[in-house]
Structure 1
Amino acid sequence: MEYTDYDTRLAAYAVVTEGDRVLLARLRFPESGPWTLPGGGVEFDETVEQAVVREVREETGLEARVGALLGVRHHVVPPERRMHAGARGRPMKAVQVVFRATIVGGELRDEVDGSTDEARWVPIAELPHHRHGLLVPIALGWAGALTR
Protein backbone atom coordinates (compact mmCIF):
# COMPACT_ATOMS: atom_id res chain seq x y z
CA MET A 1 0.00 0.00 0.00
CA GLU A 2 1.35 3.43 -0.92
CA TYR A 3 1.42 6.33 1.59
CA THR A 4 -1.27 8.11 -0.44
CA ASP A 5 -3.67 5.20 0.15
CA TYR A 6 -4.06 5.80 3.91
CA ASP A 7 -4.24 8.63 6.44
CA THR A 8 -1.56 9.27 9.05
CA ARG A 9 -2.24 10.73 12.48
CA LEU A 10 0.74 12.06 14.40
CA ALA A 11 0.12 12.36 18.14
CA ALA A 12 2.26 13.24 21.17
CA TYR A 13 1.78 11.91 24.71
CA ALA A 14 3.26 12.52 28.16
CA VAL A 15 4.27 10.06 30.84
CA VAL A 16 3.94 12.03 34.07
CA THR A 17 4.55 10.19 37.31
CA GLU A 18 4.48 11.40 40.89
CA GLY A 19 5.73 8.83 43.35
CA ASP A 20 3.82 5.65 42.59
CA ARG A 21 1.07 7.41 40.60
CA VAL A 22 0.66 8.23 36.90
CA LEU A 23 -1.36 11.06 35.39
CA LEU A 24 -4.12 9.71 33.12
CA ALA A 25 -7.09 11.10 31.22
CA ARG A 26 -10.25 9.16 30.38
CA LEU A 27 -11.36 9.22 26.75
CA ARG A 28 -14.96 10.25 26.09
CA PHE A 29 -15.20 7.99 23.03
CA PRO A 30 -16.12 5.22 22.55
CA GLU A 31 -18.70 5.41 25.32
CA SER A 32 -17.16 6.67 28.54
CA GLY A 33 -13.98 5.03 27.55
CA PRO A 34 -10.57 3.83 28.45
CA TRP A 35 -7.90 5.72 30.33
CA THR A 36 -4.92 7.00 28.39
CA LEU A 37 -1.87 9.17 28.78
CA PRO A 38 -2.52 12.89 28.38
CA GLY A 39 -1.84 13.74 24.77
CA GLY A 40 -3.26 13.78 21.31
CA GLY A 41 -3.00 14.99 17.76
CA VAL A 42 -0.20 17.31 16.66
CA GLU A 43 -1.53 20.42 14.93
CA PHE A 44 -0.08 21.39 11.54
CA ASP A 45 1.84 24.41 12.90
CA GLU A 46 3.34 22.90 16.07
CA THR A 47 6.16 20.56 17.03
CA VAL A 48 5.54 17.31 18.89
CA GLU A 49 7.00 18.94 22.01
CA GLN A 50 4.61 21.90 21.74
CA ALA A 51 1.71 19.51 21.15
CA VAL A 52 2.35 17.46 24.28
CA VAL A 53 2.49 20.61 26.45
CA ARG A 54 -0.77 21.88 24.91
CA GLU A 55 -2.52 18.53 25.25
CA VAL A 56 -1.53 18.10 28.92
CA ARG A 57 -2.88 21.60 29.63
CA GLU A 58 -6.13 20.98 27.71
CA GLU A 59 -6.84 17.57 29.20
CA THR A 60 -5.66 18.07 32.80
CA GLY A 61 -5.29 21.81 33.54
CA LEU A 62 -1.63 21.20 34.43
CA GLU A 63 1.41 22.90 32.90
CA ALA A 64 4.05 20.44 31.77
CA ARG A 65 7.72 20.63 30.86
CA VAL A 66 8.79 18.12 28.21
CA GLY A 67 11.63 15.77 29.08
CA ALA A 68 13.27 12.89 27.28
CA LEU A 69 11.79 11.12 24.28
CA LEU A 70 10.77 7.68 25.54
CA GLY A 71 9.68 6.03 22.33
CA VAL A 72 7.55 5.97 19.21
CA ARG A 73 4.75 3.48 18.63
CA HIS A 74 2.64 2.98 15.55
CA HIS A 75 -0.35 0.88 14.69
CA VAL A 76 -2.91 0.64 11.92
CA VAL A 77 -6.59 1.45 12.42
CA PRO A 78 -8.78 -0.28 9.82
CA PRO A 79 -11.40 1.87 8.04
CA GLU A 80 -14.33 0.39 9.98
CA ARG A 81 -12.75 1.31 13.35
CA ARG A 82 -12.12 4.99 12.55
CA MET A 83 -13.79 7.31 15.08
CA HIS A 84 -14.64 10.14 12.70
CA ALA A 85 -17.33 9.16 10.22
CA GLY A 86 -15.93 11.45 7.52
CA ALA A 87 -12.68 9.49 7.53
CA ARG A 88 -14.24 6.08 7.08
CA GLY A 89 -13.28 4.15 4.02
CA ARG A 90 -9.55 4.76 4.49
CA PRO A 91 -7.21 3.01 6.90
CA MET A 92 -5.12 5.15 9.23
CA LYS A 93 -1.58 4.75 10.52
CA ALA A 94 -1.42 6.17 14.05
CA VAL A 95 2.06 7.36 15.08
CA GLN A 96 2.36 7.99 18.82
CA VAL A 97 5.40 9.91 20.11
CA VAL A 98 5.85 9.58 23.87
CA PHE A 99 7.84 11.90 26.13
CA ARG A 100 8.64 11.95 29.82
CA ALA A 101 7.22 15.16 31.32
CA THR A 102 7.10 16.94 34.65
CA ILE A 103 4.43 19.21 36.06
CA VAL A 104 5.52 22.81 36.63
CA GLY A 105 2.19 24.48 37.47
CA GLY A 106 -1.56 24.58 37.06
CA GLU A 107 -4.33 22.80 38.94
CA LEU A 108 -5.75 19.39 38.11
CA ARG A 109 -9.18 19.63 36.47
CA ASP A 110 -11.27 17.74 33.94
CA GLU A 111 -11.45 18.78 30.30
CA VAL A 112 -14.73 20.34 29.20
CA ASP A 113 -16.12 19.53 25.73
CA GLY A 114 -12.95 17.79 24.59
CA SER A 115 -11.81 14.29 23.76
CA THR A 116 -11.44 13.40 27.46
CA ASP A 117 -13.85 13.84 30.35
CA GLU A 118 -11.79 13.17 33.46
CA ALA A 119 -8.18 13.59 34.58
CA ARG A 120 -6.79 11.73 37.57
CA TRP A 121 -3.63 10.58 39.31
CA VAL A 122 -3.92 6.78 39.29
CA PRO A 123 -1.74 4.50 41.42
CA ILE A 124 0.34 2.43 39.00
CA ALA A 125 -0.43 -0.71 41.04
CA GLU A 126 -4.16 -0.14 40.32
CA LEU A 127 -3.79 -0.02 36.52
CA PRO A 128 -5.03 -3.61 36.10
CA HIS A 129 -8.35 -2.43 37.58
CA HIS A 130 -8.75 0.44 35.09
CA ARG A 131 -9.63 -0.08 31.44
CA HIS A 132 -6.82 1.54 29.46
CA GLY A 133 -5.28 1.54 26.03
CA LEU A 134 -2.15 -0.40 25.12
CA LEU A 135 -0.06 2.76 25.05
CA VAL A 136 -0.27 3.14 28.85
CA PRO A 137 1.70 0.01 29.89
CA ILE A 138 4.02 0.28 26.89
CA ALA A 139 4.97 3.88 27.73
CA LEU A 140 5.25 3.18 31.47
CA GLY A 141 7.61 0.34 30.58
CA TRP A 142 9.70 2.73 28.47
CA ALA A 143 9.81 5.11 31.45
CA GLY A 144 10.85 2.34 33.85
CA ALA A 145 7.76 3.06 35.95
CA LEU A 146 6.42 -0.52 35.98
CA THR A 147 9.44 -1.90 37.86
CA ARG A 148 8.66 -0.07 41.11
Structure 2
Amino acid sequence: MEYTDYDTRLASYAVVTDGDRVLLARLSWPDAGLWTLPGGGVDLDETVEEGAVREVREETGYDVVVEELLGVRSHVVPPERRKHRNGRPMKAVQVVHRARVVGGSLRHEAVGTTDLARWVPLDELGTHRHGILVVQALRWAGVGAV
Protein backbone atom coordinates (compact mmCIF):
# COMPACT_ATOMS: atom_id res chain seq x y z
CA MET A 1 0.00 0.00 0.00
CA GLU A 2 1.40 3.39 -0.97
CA TYR A 3 1.54 6.30 1.51
CA THR A 4 -1.20 8.08 -0.45
CA ASP A 5 -3.59 5.20 0.27
CA TYR A 6 -3.70 5.72 4.05
CA ASP A 7 -3.68 8.52 6.61
CA THR A 8 -0.88 9.19 9.08
CA ARG A 9 -1.29 10.57 12.60
CA LEU A 10 1.77 11.96 14.35
CA ALA A 11 1.49 11.95 18.13
CA SER A 12 3.91 12.91 20.88
CA TYR A 13 4.04 11.50 24.43
CA ALA A 14 6.04 12.09 27.58
CA VAL A 15 7.48 9.77 30.21
CA VAL A 16 7.31 11.84 33.38
CA THR A 17 8.53 10.23 36.58
CA ASP A 18 8.84 11.27 40.19
CA GLY A 19 10.93 8.77 42.12
CA ASP A 20 9.16 5.43 41.80
CA ARG A 21 6.01 6.91 40.22
CA VAL A 22 5.00 7.59 36.62
CA LEU A 23 2.46 10.15 35.44
CA LEU A 24 -0.39 8.54 33.49
CA ALA A 25 -3.70 9.68 32.01
CA ARG A 26 -6.82 7.53 31.65
CA LEU A 27 -8.47 7.44 28.25
CA SER A 28 -12.16 8.23 27.97
CA TRP A 29 -12.14 7.40 24.23
CA PRO A 30 -11.51 5.24 22.25
CA ASP A 31 -10.36 2.70 24.85
CA ALA A 32 -12.21 4.00 27.90
CA GLY A 33 -10.46 3.07 31.13
CA LEU A 34 -7.09 2.36 29.52
CA TRP A 35 -4.16 4.19 31.13
CA THR A 36 -1.58 5.78 28.86
CA LEU A 37 1.23 8.28 28.87
CA PRO A 38 0.13 11.90 28.66
CA GLY A 39 0.30 12.95 25.04
CA GLY A 40 -1.53 12.94 21.77
CA GLY A 41 -1.79 14.39 18.29
CA VAL A 42 0.75 16.97 17.15
CA ASP A 43 -0.79 20.05 15.54
CA LEU A 44 0.42 21.09 12.07
CA ASP A 45 2.30 24.15 13.36
CA GLU A 46 3.99 22.32 16.27
CA THR A 47 7.19 20.38 16.69
CA VAL A 48 6.87 16.99 18.40
CA GLU A 49 8.41 18.57 21.51
CA GLU A 50 5.86 21.41 21.54
CA GLY A 51 3.05 18.89 21.05
CA ALA A 52 4.20 16.87 24.06
CA VAL A 53 4.39 19.98 26.26
CA ARG A 54 0.89 21.09 25.23
CA GLU A 55 -0.63 17.62 25.63
CA VAL A 56 0.88 17.08 29.10
CA ARG A 57 -0.50 20.46 30.20
CA GLU A 58 -3.96 19.71 28.75
CA GLU A 59 -4.21 16.21 30.21
CA THR A 60 -2.50 16.64 33.60
CA GLY A 61 -2.17 20.34 34.45
CA TYR A 62 1.62 20.14 34.62
CA ASP A 63 4.10 22.28 32.73
CA VAL A 64 7.02 20.17 31.54
CA VAL A 65 10.35 20.53 29.83
CA VAL A 66 10.99 17.92 27.16
CA GLU A 67 14.31 16.14 27.48
CA GLU A 68 15.78 13.35 25.37
CA LEU A 69 14.03 11.36 22.70
CA LEU A 70 13.35 7.84 23.99
CA GLY A 71 11.93 6.20 20.89
CA VAL A 72 9.36 6.05 18.12
CA ARG A 73 6.62 3.43 17.78
CA SER A 74 4.20 2.95 14.91
CA HIS A 75 1.21 0.75 14.27
CA VAL A 76 -1.72 0.51 11.88
CA VAL A 77 -5.27 1.40 12.92
CA PRO A 78 -7.87 -0.29 10.71
CA PRO A 79 -10.63 1.90 9.24
CA GLU A 80 -13.33 0.56 11.60
CA ARG A 81 -11.33 1.52 14.74
CA ARG A 82 -10.78 5.13 13.76
CA LYS A 83 -12.45 8.00 15.58
CA HIS A 84 -12.93 9.88 12.32
CA ARG A 85 -14.14 7.16 10.01
CA ASN A 86 -13.37 7.77 6.38
CA GLY A 87 -12.85 4.21 5.17
CA ARG A 88 -9.05 4.54 5.18
CA PRO A 89 -6.54 2.83 7.46
CA MET A 90 -4.23 5.03 9.50
CA LYS A 91 -0.59 4.70 10.44
CA ALA A 92 -0.15 5.98 13.99
CA VAL A 93 3.36 7.27 14.68
CA GLN A 94 4.06 7.78 18.39
CA VAL A 95 7.13 9.80 19.41
CA VAL A 96 8.15 9.44 23.07
CA HIS A 97 10.37 11.82 25.04
CA ARG A 98 11.42 11.94 28.66
CA ALA A 99 10.10 15.10 30.34
CA ARG A 100 10.26 16.69 33.77
CA VAL A 101 7.74 18.81 35.65
CA VAL A 102 8.68 22.49 36.03
CA GLY A 103 5.33 23.93 37.14
CA GLY A 104 1.58 23.58 37.34
CA SER A 105 -0.42 21.24 39.53
CA LEU A 106 -2.17 17.94 38.98
CA ARG A 107 -5.67 18.20 37.56
CA HIS A 108 -7.85 16.20 35.20
CA GLU A 109 -8.65 17.13 31.61
CA ALA A 110 -12.06 18.82 31.48
CA VAL A 111 -12.92 18.08 27.86
CA GLY A 112 -10.86 15.73 25.74
CA THR A 113 -9.85 12.12 25.27
CA THR A 114 -8.73 11.61 28.89
CA ASP A 115 -10.74 11.97 32.08
CA LEU A 116 -8.26 11.32 34.88
CA ALA A 117 -4.57 11.97 35.56
CA ARG A 118 -2.64 10.23 38.31
CA TRP A 119 0.82 9.45 39.60
CA VAL A 120 0.96 5.66 39.54
CA PRO A 121 3.58 3.81 41.62
CA LEU A 122 5.61 1.62 39.29
CA ASP A 123 5.02 -1.43 41.49
CA GLU A 124 1.24 -0.91 41.09
CA LEU A 125 1.31 -0.51 37.32
CA GLY A 126 0.15 -4.10 36.84
CA THR A 127 -3.13 -3.27 38.60
CA HIS A 128 -3.93 -0.58 36.02
CA ARG A 129 -5.05 -1.62 32.53
CA HIS A 130 -2.55 0.11 30.27
CA GLY A 131 -1.50 0.02 26.65
CA ILE A 132 1.64 -1.30 25.01
CA LEU A 133 2.97 2.26 24.64
CA VAL A 134 3.38 2.53 28.43
CA VAL A 135 5.34 -0.72 28.59
CA GLN A 136 7.58 0.16 25.64
CA ALA A 137 8.23 3.73 26.78
CA LEU A 138 9.18 2.68 30.30
CA ARG A 139 11.60 0.14 28.84
CA TRP A 140 13.13 2.85 26.65
CA ALA A 141 13.43 5.07 29.74
CA GLY A 142 14.99 2.28 31.80
CA VAL A 143 12.33 2.83 34.44
CA GLY A 144 11.04 0.00 36.64
CA ALA A 145 10.02 -3.48 35.67
CA VAL A 146 6.79 -3.69 33.68
Q: Smaller-chain TM-score range?
A: over 0.9
TM-score, length-normalised on structure 2?
0.96
Query: What is the one-letter code of the residue matched to 1:125?
Result: D
Q: Percent identity?
A: 71
Query: What is the one-letter code of the residue matched to 1:130?
Result: H
Match in the other structure for 2:139: 141
Match in the other structure for 1:34: 34
CA distance in 1 between partners of 2:144 and 2:86 (Å): 36
CA distance in 2 between partners of 1:147 and 1:81 (Å): 30
CA distance in 1 between partners of 2:91 and 2:132 (Å): 15
Q: CA deviation at 1:29?
A: 1.1
Q: CA deviation at 1:83?
A: 2.2
Q: CA deviation at 1:132?
A: 0.7
Match in the other structure for 2:64: 64
- The superposition leaves residues 34-59 of structure 1 with CA deviations (integer Å, 9 ceiling, x where unpaired) of 00000000000010000000000000
Q: CA deviation at 1:127?
A: 1.1
Match in the other structure for 1:118: 116
Following TM superposition, where does structure 1 have runs of at least 4 consecutive aligned residues deviating by more than 2 angstroms? 30-33
- The superposition leaves residues 92-141 of structure 1 with CA deviations (integer Å, 9 ceiling, x where unpaired) of 00000000000000010000011100000001111111011110010000
Structure 2 residue runs of 5 or longer lacking an equivalent are none
| Counterparts in 2 of 1:102 and 1:117: CA distance versus 1, 3 Å | same
Q: CA RMSD in A?
A: 1.3
TM alignment of 1:1-148, pairs within 5 A:
1-30=1-30, 32-84=32-84, 87-147=85-145
Moved more, 123-132 or 7-16: 123-132
- The superposition leaves residues 45-86 of structure 1 with CA deviations (integer Å, 9 ceiling, x where unpaired) of 0100000000000000000000000000000011111122xx
Query: What is the one-letter code of the residue matched to 2:13?
Result: Y
Aligned residues: 146
Secondary structure of residue in 2 paired with 1:131: coil
Structure 1 residue runs of 5 or longer lacking an equivalent are none
CA distance in 2 between partners of 1:91 and 1:146 (Å): 34
